[in-house]
Amino acid sequence: MLWGSNARETHPIFFHHLLKGVRNGAKLFVVDPRRTSSAGWADVWLGLDVGSDISLANAMGREIMAAGLANEKFIQHATSGFEAYKAHVEKYTLERAERETRVPAETIRKTAHAYAKASRAQLCWTLGITEHHNAVDNVVALINLAILTGHVGRYGSGVCPLRGQNNVQGGGDMGAIPDRLPSFQHVENDELRAKFENAWGVKVPPKRGWHLSDMFEAMDHGQLTTLYVLGENPADSEADRHRALKRLSGLEFLLVQDIFYTKTAELADVVLPAAAGAFESEGTVTSSERRVQRVRRTVAPPAGVRDDLEIIFDLARRLGHAWGTPEPEAIWNELRPLSPMHGGMSYRRLEELGGIQWPCYDESHPGELFLHGRLWSDPLIGPRAPFIVVEFEPPVDQLDEQYPIRLTTGRRLDDYNTGVQTERYASPLRCPEALGLSPEDGQLYKLREGEKVLVSSRRGSLIAPVHFDRGLRAGLAFLSVHAHEQVATNDLTIDAVDPKSGTSEFKATAIRIEKYQEG
């Protein structure tokens, strides 16, 4: 089940593997407001209204229980909070879900049954779930379904966020999260923090830091005046871009370290050209399946371009900390005793085994094929998996008479995010960015294919040509986030942020469109 994911375009290699499964008889369900090219392969497409995922998931949970398809044994053995969940979703009848999601009740019922009855089922999601003001709630609603049916921690069953880059997982694992140290060890836990302080011989700040959205807020209040950006392009990628640009321009000092001269770099006081991670550096990356793999330098970076590690080490030296010469393997070995789940991963073993999936506690541990296998061990190892009740809340940017059309954003096959890494390459399929509209809305607004329209949200407006897309329905529009030079999509989006994850609600903007007269 692909939920809020257009993997065919955004994870084409993964989708290629998925299609092998489909050809071998696997059933594919796609939950997406748009009937995407992924949905075109699906046995069932559930075209819910943007942001109604929790209603759909809760109703599926209710239906699974009502039909006696919940995995009682697993629930008893390995979960907590079931009764509260059961009571909570009672009000999410199929009829209510049909009203809120507009997916036919019968379709929801069939999908719930198919998911529950499958001998193996995977639930994969992407930004359609997480780019909402209630992103974490959305994820929790899906996890509830997985533990309700026992589709977790078994071969072929599980939940999986599809990552956007080869090392998104690794970044989080290494502690690039405001409240965590490597291995998700909480920074506010004194005992854990002490372990790192002992090893490093410095004090670690005892309170969690800011996440991205907090940082941008802090810029408004003068609490954040200096920003060091590594491999990110917030000038294009932040929601409500006008405001983001204003904030970045108001900084006292902006340092950007990147392999390309990005829009953000243009605003910077200092730009440090960095070596490309994939082939000009040594180290490791961690994929969506938690597999840590070695990365090797195959070509030397161009003159004047330095490895991230060298830059950071030099910076540390200038700030009064002599760390010596950077040695990727030595840094990795420094991590291993501090991060239990990486303990057994020597470079030698990573090389021999072609990568290892964490957790891997010691050098005799082969790693774990799936993460939550412990939930099936008898007696149970570790804590129970909790059901967490979550409530449907519509998107923040409400539709009304002035802004009657729901704009959702996403990515296309040819490009990645703001296009920094992809726009330089030719693609036979790439079309100029255009506002996707249903043919019905095209008729309603009397528009021709390619005609320019003025698109406005409560925050900004832009001019874009229209492109009719049968995958959209009346009242639903689409823009990608790739081509800000042509169409600055984030001029429209809202920076309503999920307080738990710090993600903005890129997926739900209220817009209106008007005919545009040139000149």
Angle, in degrees to the nearest 10, between helices 105-117 and 135-149: 60
By CB under 8 A, tell whether 202 contacts other proteins: no
Nearer to other proteins, 8 or 459 (CB): 8
Cα 494 to Cα 409: distance, rounded to the nearest angstrom: 11
Nearer to other proteins, 77 or 102 (CB): 102
Nearer to other proteins, 133 or 473 (CB): 473
- Among the listed ranges 44-52, 67-75, 89-97, 350-358, the one in contact with other proteins (CB under 8 A) is 44-52
Nearer to other proteins, 44 or 215 (CB): 44
* First-to-last C-alpha distance (Å) of the chain: 48
Cα 148 to Cα 65: distance, rounded to the nearest angstrom: 8
By CB under 8 A, tell whether 429 contacts other proteins: yes
By CB under 8 A, tell whether 46 contacts other proteins: yes
For other proteins, the binding residue among 7, 97, 103, 497 (CB under 8 A) is 103
By CB under 8 A, tell whether 40 contacts other proteins: yes
Q: Name which of residues 78 to 97 contact other proteins (CB under 8 A).
A: none
CB of 45 to other proteins, least distance (A): 4
- DSSP state, 306? B
Residues in the chain: 519
CB of 474 to other proteins, least distance (A): 6
By CB under 8 A, tell whether 39 contacts other proteins: yes
Nearer to other proteins, 210 or 445 (CB): 445
For other proteins, the binding residue among 80, 93, 107, 486 (CB under 8 A) is 107
- Among the listed ranges 35-43, 360-368, 390-398, 496-504, the one in contact with other proteins (CB under 8 A) is 35-43
By CB under 8 A, tell whether 217 contacts other proteins: no
Ranges assigned E (strand) in 93-179: 122-125, 158-161
User: Cα Rg for the chain, rounded, in angstroms?
Assistant: 24
Cα 347 to Cα 327: distance, rounded to the nearest angstrom: 12
Nearer to other proteins, 468 or 506 (CB): 468
Do residues 416 and 422 make contact, with C-beta atoms less than 8 angstroms apart? yes
How far from the centroid of its chain's Cα atoms is residue 157's Cα? 20
By CB under 8 A, tell whether 118 contacts other proteins: no
Q: Which residues pair with 408 in a beta bridge?
A: 478
Q: Which residues of 329-361 are buried (b: 16+ CB within 10 A; e: fewer)?
A: eeebeebbebbbbbbbbbeebbeebebbbbbbe
Do β-strands 270-273 and 253-258 pair in parallel, antiparallel, or remain unpaired?
parallel
- Among the listed ranges 99-107, 276-284, 299-307, 480-488, the one in contact with other proteins (CB under 8 A) is 99-107
Q: How far is CA 396 from CA 102, 133, 149, 400, 458, in A?
A: 19, 7, 31, 12, 12
The token pair that represents 179 in the structure block: 């409240």
Do residues 114 and 48 make contact, with C-beta atoms less than 8 angstroms apart? no
Q: Residue 236: phi, psi to the nearest 5? A: -105, -30
Q: Name which of residues 306 to 335 contact other proteins (CB under 8 A).
A: none
- Among the listed ranges 7-15, 21-29, 139-147, 352-360, the one in contact with other proteins (CB under 8 A) is 21-29
Q: Name which of residues 457 to 516 contact other proteins (CB under 8 A).
A: 470, 473-474
Site of interaction with other proteins (CB under 8 A): 22-23, 25, 27-28, 35, 39-48, 101-104, 107, 428-429, 439-440, 470, 473-474
